[in-house]
Amino acid sequence: MAPAQIKRRAFISLLGGAAVTWPRAARAQQSKKIPRIGVLWPNPPATFEAMRQGLKDFGYVEGQNVAFEFRWAEGKLDQLPELAADLVRLQVDVIVTLAPQATLAAKHATQTIPIVFVAMGDPLASGVVASLARPGANLTGTTRMISEMSAKHVELIKEAVPSLAKLAVLWNPTNSSHAPALQAVHAAGRALSLQMQPLEVRAAAELDGTFDVIVRERADGVLFVADPVFFIALKRMADFVTSSRLPAIANFTEFPKLGGLIGYAPSIPDEFRHAASHIDKILKGARPADLPVEQPTRFQLVINLKAAKALGLELPPMLLARADEVIE
């Protein structure tokens, strides 16, 4: 066979091999799966932007190398189990939850898909982890340590209002983190010689009746224990304490910005950045059981000085000096 024919056949053979190889490469590239994160939250809050930013810090951009499957309960917490089951049917790679009710719904829906909870009140008391250092099973995340936080709220509002004698404490008995938090609140109240008035609120629809009780029983301060029910109703809460001329504190820094007196809570960007770190590690092969639950290290104190003046309060200079933000 002539050398030219040999070269021609070799060239055709090379083309044929390339034709086989290129489709394989294209299929391999197409088959490279973009991870899907299931989002199970009680309501679609603006704080999800902090989750997006946290993931972006680790190189994840929606639509490029990560996709979200959103399941919002729109404030209807009884829908969370069904929404969690839906995410499991979709076989998402990770489920990220906000609020104990969402975390427990996800926990009951799957024992295999990794779950990362954000700002969990008390994961130990709620029974979702074996320990903070080694969570076990398929869950890990970040905690607000709600018992310690709620006790701190009692101290802060008493510092702001030294004459405070009777404190109404709104809590949700369906929140698995709240029973130990209420115990911590009572202990802090006893240490400060405060009369505590615990009031159960299971849903936002019960708030107006609870507000009537607060006025009727003549509480002279209000504490809202962190819960989705209260986050959804922040504006109503702020309007009530403003119109009733009551000093109040909540575990949400948004609360004083809406008219309440004090908000004290962990840094939201930090919480979501820690959660994003867990998600990143899990997507790279880590087991949730081996990732310690992150505890807050930075807190934000926001005080509404305008609200204080309307209440006739002269806040201690030392308290104002510790504030991260003062609204005037």
Interval 112-125: pLDDT, tens: 999 999 999 999 98
pLDDT of residue 108: 97
pLDDT value, residue 125: 87
Residues 6+ apart with CB under 8 A from 26: none
User: What pLDDT was estimated at residue 180?
Assistant: 94
CA distance 210 to 99: 22
Please report the pLDDT score of residue 45 as a whole number. 64
CATH number belonging to the domain at 36-144+267-298, selected among 1.10.10.10, 3.40.50.2300, 3.40.190.10, 3.20.20.100: 3.40.50.2300
What pLDDT, on a 0 to 100 scale, did the predictor assign at position 75? 81
Q: What is the Cα 117 distance to its own chain's centre?
A: 7
According to the model, what pLDDT value does residue 32 have?
65
Residue 99 has what pLDDT? 87
* pLDDT for the residue numbered 190: 98
Q: In which residue ranges of the chain is pLDDT below 50?
A: 2-31
Residue in the structure block whose two tokens are 């779950």: 115
Q: Which amino acid is at 160?
A: A
Token pair for residue 103? 């975390």
Q: Pick the closest to residue 265 from 104, 156, 187 (CA basis).
A: 156
List the domain boundaries for the chain: 36-144+267-298, 146-266+300-327
User: Which residues does 286 contact at the CB level (< 8 Å), separation at least 6?
Assistant: none
Q: pLDDT value at position 46?
A: 65
> For residues 35 and 24, what is the distance between their CA atoms, to the nearest angstrom?
22
Question: What is the helix (H) or strand (E) element at residue 37, kind and residue range?
Answer: strand 36-41
pTM, two decimals, is 0.84
The neighbour count for residue 30, using CB atoms within 10 Å, is 8
Under DSSP, the state recorded for 145 is -
What is the four-CA torsion angle of 75, 81, 84, 89, rounded to 10 degrees? -140
The CATH class of the 146-266+300-327 domain is alpha beta
Q: What pLDDT is recorded for position 209?
A: 98
User: Long-range contacts made by residues 206-209, C-beta under 8 angstroms, separation at least 24?
Assistant: 207/233, 207/236, 207/237, 207/240
HSE, CB side, 13 Å, CA atoms: give it for residue 118.
27
Query: Are 36-144+267-298 and 146-266+300-327 the same fold in CATH?
Result: yes
What is the model's pLDDT at position 74? 87
